[in-house]
């Protein structure tokens, strides 16, 4: 049986956070297209950034793909294609560990750089700081789960593919299993909860640049031309730009 | 043939005195904001010198522009599309703020707030990046006028291409100024580098702009531009570049840098070009043939076939006519004296230069010979291979012949005109020696020496039917955001975030500015319906409509407002306040009356 607390923690809060995530992005895009940027600080400092940023970003991309694999793909599917538990575990832990180490090292370097390089620090907004904190918590907890759970096997064996993953997929299929999360080890609970918080914050931070991955660059022509005809259909004219006519009152007085 | 129109500029380097007025007025107009302190859309470099940012011309280091790959196909020097995407997290070839300079201000407050002390208080320089005290050791024109000095000049990447022997002699010879803006290239590598597709070339007039709403701050354009004329606004995290003052151009006004140029050395006009042939021309394997290739892309606006093709492409008739009157076309094609800057970058730059001649004249004069005699001059240009080689590295990818030809034409013009000015008969053999006839030589002289405003700037205004959409472009892609010109503060997500599309560049304002500048009178009395725009009101007179009409005006049928030309006595009982300097004689008598 699930208690009310479990339902709130693992059903209500996730939906609220995901709603923030989706609606927040829509709102941000409409409200703040100009602020939708990576806010790069490379101009200030590039010696540390040159190593740390690619390390972090490629690491986190691999981590993301790992999560797609672990959370998104049901265990039955991988078994159906003949991947045994051992092989899966080996792949997940080995690739995951490398990606995780890259991510953590990159992130630590980036945060160190942000704090110690004067110009970079003074260009950091309060929202950036909140985001860095939450992101760091999520990443460290995730790393801890991998090391403690899968490598060192502290606290006994826990197969997240039969717990967390089922719960996570259920959120999107409206097949709710809060009890699975309630039974999960604390590390996974904390990781999941902090990730939900991160999702809720996401649209209000610089993380929105994730949705600007410029894949279109690979297929578009090199030089972009724009003219009135192609734009008129593309976007409605912004209000307030029509020529304001004299009011009737004024003209009658003339 | 796909005819397109391009707004282009020519600068006559012979006339540049290095006063930096263009840079200053441009900065006041466009980059006088936080985040753009180090941004100079227009800068003036002393050559030989390192340029701004330092050594930007060394493309082996900065990897700007295009190159030909192994198969002879045009490719970004910084690498293909995939490489570009994979290096997105840290752009490997981006100049850091140190390669530009660390912008600073002075702690002026200390001058008034310092406690009583033995020594005079000083205003210390404070970094605008970190806010800390700093040592000022470099700036945008730190090496101004230091062209010949060994420690600076030897770092000039262009000079490095000229041999050691040549270098030493050359340093003793001369220096000159090179004003630079964005080249608004036909084949812009900044646009090609932009992963987001935010940099675009306007179909109507070829101006290259950054869509501020679409820029995501990937910084690739900064690497892509070999002239390093795309800058990163470090507060907003967006790329910004020279806009060719498009709101002014749209109403037929020249750019701010041209308008304010003391030496009147800038020319603006249209050229027509064949967009289908740009790629082919930029792919020319022999670098020294790139100049010819670039010239060949331009189309003759007098050719009926070109005119028909232009009509098919929807280029308005008056634009074609403006292209026929274009000083740019004449300088590039008819007189062949304008050369592009660094054609070897293969971007097809559209700001052209007339190389400087005067040092040659001075050198000849120093030897005691007649510096303006055609024979002497030709010989001197031929002998002075050194500066010609340097100029060739700048303008013709190292090919000396076109530069020599230009210098000979300019020298011939001087000699030929000297005879005329002395009241002597013109010597037809002088123009003939450089492949010109007397009339075209005289016309070239007029264009280079005497041309008035309307001849230097032949700018057809954007069409009324286009105006709205051009304005739309303006509202979406320029600097009209919070934190833009005149704005301040920062939004919740960092500098310049949040809504607030106030519209600082209203095309209407520029229309009025243009009307005002070209009017014969101070206040535009020609039309009674003139609307008052205080932004452009110069304080002279009281333009009609400045004050609401009074009841008794209406009764006797006079038009709204009291114009500056209405004598004060004609107006009944003066009750409305008049601005200082209005039509009433002030206490100082006529001194305050409008001129």
Which residue range is the domain that position A41 belongs to? 4-218
Please tell me if residue B470 touches chain A, with a CB cutoff of 8 Å. yes
What tokens does A131 get?
A: 């985001």
Instruction: Return per-residue pLDDT of chain A as tens, 254 residues.
Output: 578 888 999 999 999 999 999 999 999 998 888 889 888 999 999 999 999 999 999 999 999 999 998 899 888 888 888 888 888 888 888 898 899 999 999 999 999 999 999 889 988 999 999 999 999 999 999 998 888 877 777 767 788 888 899 999 999 999 988 999 988 889 899 999 999 999 999 999 999 999 999 999 999 999 999 875 444 333 333 443 334 433 343 333 33
What is chain B's Cα-based Rg? 27
Beta bridge partners of B136: none
**C-alpha–C-alpha distance, residues B522 and B389, integer Å:** 51
The answer as to whether A73 is a domain residue is yes
Average pLDDT, rounded, for chain B: 81
The answer as to whether A253 is a domain residue is no
The answer as to whether A242 is a domain residue is no
Nearest CB to B237; choose among A39, A224, A253: A39
Grouping H, G, I as helix, E, B as strand and the rest as coil, residue B338 is coil
**C-alpha–C-alpha distance, residues B208 and B200, integer Å:** 6
pLDDT value at position B107? 92
| pLDDT above 70: residue B164 | no
Put simply, the answer to whether B491 touches A38 (Cβ < 8 Å) is no
What tokens does B299 get?
A: 């189309």
3-state secondary structure B207-243: CEEECCCCCCCCCHHHHHCCCCCEEEECCCCEEEECC
Put simply, the answer to whether B217 touches A50 (Cβ < 8 Å) is no
The reported pTM is: 0.81
CB < 8 Å from B in window 177-236 of A: 204-206, 209, 212, 214-218, 220, 222-228, 231-232, 235
**C-alpha–C-alpha distance, residues B563 and B325, integer Å:** 37
- Residue A35's CATH number: 1.20.950.20
Run of H or E including B495: strand B494-495
3-state secondary structure B163-197: CHHHHHHHHHHCCEEEEECCCCCCCCHHHHHCCCC
Please tell me if residue B281 touches chain A, with a CB cutoff of 8 Å. no
Burial of B151 (0-12, 13-18, 19+ CB in 10 A): exposed
Burial B504-523 (b: 16+ CB within 10 A, else e): bbbbbbbbbbbbbeeeeebb
Q: What is the DSSP letter of B127?
A: E
Q: Rounded to the nearest 5 degrees, what angle is found at the Cα of A51, between the Cα atoms of A47 and A54?
A: 130
Q: Give, in order, the Cα–Cα distances in Å from A223 to each of A44, B76, B146, B185, B288.
A: 29, 12, 38, 11, 24
Task: Please state the domain count of chain A.
Answer: 1
ipTM comes to 0.83
pLDDT (tens digit, 9 = 90+) per residue, B66-99?
999 999 999 999 999 999 999 999 988 999 999 9
**C-alpha–C-alpha distance, residues B276 and B298, integer Å:** 11
| pLDDT above 60: residue B547 | yes
| pLDDT above 50: residue B358 | yes
**C-alpha–C-alpha distance, residues B142 and B46, integer Å:** 10
Put simply, the answer to whether A34 touches B481 (Cβ < 8 Å) is yes
What's the maximum distance between 2 C-alpha atoms anywhere in chain A? 89
Q: CB–CB of A108/A51 below 8 Å?
A: no
The answer as to whether A244 is a domain residue is no
Grouping H, G, I as helix, E, B as strand and the rest as coil, residue B581 is coil
Nearest to B27 by CA among B37, B16, B12: B37
Nearest CB to A44; choose among B82, B91, B234: B234
For residue A116, what is the nearest residue in chain B, using CA coordinates? B130
Task: Quickly state the pLDDT bin for B373 (edges 50, 70, 90).
Answer: confident
pLDDT value at position B200? 95
Q: CB–CB of A165/A74 below 8 Å?
A: yes
The answer as to whether A109 is a domain residue is yes
**C-alpha–C-alpha distance, residues B92 and B85, integer Å:** 12
Put simply, the answer to whether A227 touches B234 (Cβ < 8 Å) is no
| pLDDT above 70: residue B52 | yes
pLDDT value at position B148? 62
Helices (H), B313-399: 317-324, 327-329, 358-366, 374-383, 385-395
Share of chain B above pLDDT 70, in %: 73
CB atoms near residue B297 (< 10 Å): 22
Task: Over range B472-492, report the average pLDDT.
Answer: 44
Nearest to B445 by CA among B19, B17, B12, B18: B12
> How long is chain A?
254
| pLDDT above 90: residue B151 | no
The answer as to whether A104 is a domain residue is yes
The answer as to whether A250 is a domain residue is no
Partners of B94 on chain A (C-beta within 8 Å) are 42-43, 46
Partners of A38 on chain B (C-beta within 8 Å) are 216-218, 237
> How long is chain B?
595
pLDDT value at position A150? 73
Put simply, the answer to whether A127 touches B196 (Cβ < 8 Å) is no
The answer as to whether A78 is a domain residue is yes
Range list of β-strands (E), B3-55: 3-12, 43-47
């Amino acid at each position: 049986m699930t208690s009310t607390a479990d339902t709130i923690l693992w059903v209500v809060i996730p939906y609220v956070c995901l709603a923030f995530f989706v609606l927040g992005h829509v709102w941000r895009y409409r409200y703040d297209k100009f602020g939708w940027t990576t806010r790069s600080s490379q101009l200030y400092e590039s010696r540390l950034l040159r190593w740390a940023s690619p390390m972090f970003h490629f690491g986190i991309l691999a981590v993301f793909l790992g999560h797609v694999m672990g959370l998104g793909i049901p265990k039955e599917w991988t078994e159906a294609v003949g991947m045994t538990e051992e092989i899966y575990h080996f792949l997940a832990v080995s690739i995951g560990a490398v990606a995780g180490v890259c991510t953590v090292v990159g992130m630590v370097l980036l945060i160190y750089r942000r704090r110690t390089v004067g110009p970079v620090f003074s260009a950091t907004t309060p929202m950036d700081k909140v985001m860095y904190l939450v992101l760091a918590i999520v990443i460290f907890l995730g790393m801890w789960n991998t090391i403690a759970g899968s490598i060192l096997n502290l606290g006994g064996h826990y197969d997240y593919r039969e717990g967390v993953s089922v719960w996570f997929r259920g959120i999107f299929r409206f097949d709710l299993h809060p009890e699975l999360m309630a039974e999960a080890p604390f590390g996974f609970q904390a990781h999941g909860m902090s990730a939900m918080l991160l999702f809720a914050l996401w649209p209000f931070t610089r993380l929105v640049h994730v949705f600007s991955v410029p894949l279109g660059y690979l297929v578009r022509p090199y030089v972009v031309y724009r003219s009135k005809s192609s734009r008129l259909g593309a976007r409605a004219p912004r209000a307030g730009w029509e020529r304001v006519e004299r009011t009737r009152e004024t003209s009658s007085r003339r | 043939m796909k005819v397109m129109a391009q707004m282009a500029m020519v600068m006559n380097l012979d006339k540049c005195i290095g006063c930096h007025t263009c840079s200053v007025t441009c900065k006041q107009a466009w980059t006088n904001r936080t985040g753009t302190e180090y941004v100079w859309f227009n800068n003036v470099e002393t050559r030989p010198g390192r340029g701004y940012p330092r050594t930007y011309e060394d493309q082996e280091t900065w990897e700007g522009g295009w190159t030909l790959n192994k198969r002879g196909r045009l490719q970004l020097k910084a690498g293909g599309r995939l490489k570009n995407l994979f290096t997105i997290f840290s752009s490997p070839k981006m100049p850091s703020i140190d390669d530009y300079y660390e912008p600073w201000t002075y702690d002026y407050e200390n001058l008034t707030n310092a406690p009583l002390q033995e020594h005079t208080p000083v205003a210390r320089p404070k970094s605008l990046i970190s806010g800390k005290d700093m040592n000022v050791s470099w700036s945008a024109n730190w090496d101004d006028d230091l062209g010949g000095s060994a420690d600076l000049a030897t770092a000039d990447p262009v000079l490095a291409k000229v041999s050691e022997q040549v270098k030493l002699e050359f340093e003793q010879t001369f220096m000159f100024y090179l004003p630079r803006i964005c080249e608004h290239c036909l084949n812009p590598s900044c646009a090609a580098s932009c992963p987001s597709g935010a940099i675009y070339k306007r179909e109507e007039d070829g101006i290259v702009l950054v869509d501020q709403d679409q820029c995501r701050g990937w910084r690739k354009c900064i690497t892509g531009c070999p002239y390093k004329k795309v800058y990163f606004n470090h507060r907003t995290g967006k790329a910004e570049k020279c806009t060719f003052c498009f709101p002014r151009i749209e109403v037929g006004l020249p750019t701010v840098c041209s308008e304010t140029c003391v030496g009147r050395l800038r020319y603006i006009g249209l050229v027509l070009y064949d967009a289908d042939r740009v790629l082919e021309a930029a792919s020319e394997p022999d670098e020294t043939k790139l100049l010819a290739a670039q010239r060949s892309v331009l189309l003759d606006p007098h050719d009926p076939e070109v005119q028909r093709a232009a009509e098919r492409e929807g280029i308005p008739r008056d634009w074609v006519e403006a292209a026929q009157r274009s000083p740019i076309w004449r300088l590039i094609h008819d007189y062949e004296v304008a050369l592009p800057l660094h054609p070897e970058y293969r971007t097809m730059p559209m700001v052209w230069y007339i190389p400087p001649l005067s040092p040659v004249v001075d050198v000849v004069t120093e030897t005691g010979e007649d510096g303006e005699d055609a024979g002497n001059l030709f010989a001197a240009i031929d002998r002075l291979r050194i500066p010609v080689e340097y100029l060739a590295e700048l303008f013709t990818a190292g090919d000396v012949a076109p530069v020599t030809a230009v210098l000979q034409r300019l020298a011939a013009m001087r000699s030929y005109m000297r005879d005329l000015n002395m009241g002597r008969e013109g010597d037809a053999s002088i123009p003939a020696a450089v492949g010109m006839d007397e009339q075209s030589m005289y016309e070239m002289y007029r264009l280079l020496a005497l041309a008035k405003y309307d001849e230097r700037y032949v700018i057809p205004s954007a069409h009324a039917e286009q105006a709205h959409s051009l304005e739309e472009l303006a509202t979406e892609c320029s600097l009209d955001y919070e934190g833009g010109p005149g704005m301040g503060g920062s939004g919740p997500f960092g500098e310049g975030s949040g809504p607030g599309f106030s519209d600082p560049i209203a095309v209407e304002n520029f229309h009025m500015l243009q009307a005002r500048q070209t009017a014969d009178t101070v206040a535009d009395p020609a039309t009674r319906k003139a609307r008052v725009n205080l932004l452009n009101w110069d304080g002279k007179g009281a333009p009609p409509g400045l004050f609401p009409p009074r009841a008794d005006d209406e009764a006797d049928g006079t038009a709204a407002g009291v114009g500056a030309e209405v004598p004060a006595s004609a107006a009944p009982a003066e009750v409305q306040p008049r601005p200082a300097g209005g039509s009433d004689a002030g206490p100082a008598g006529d001194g305050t009356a409008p001129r």
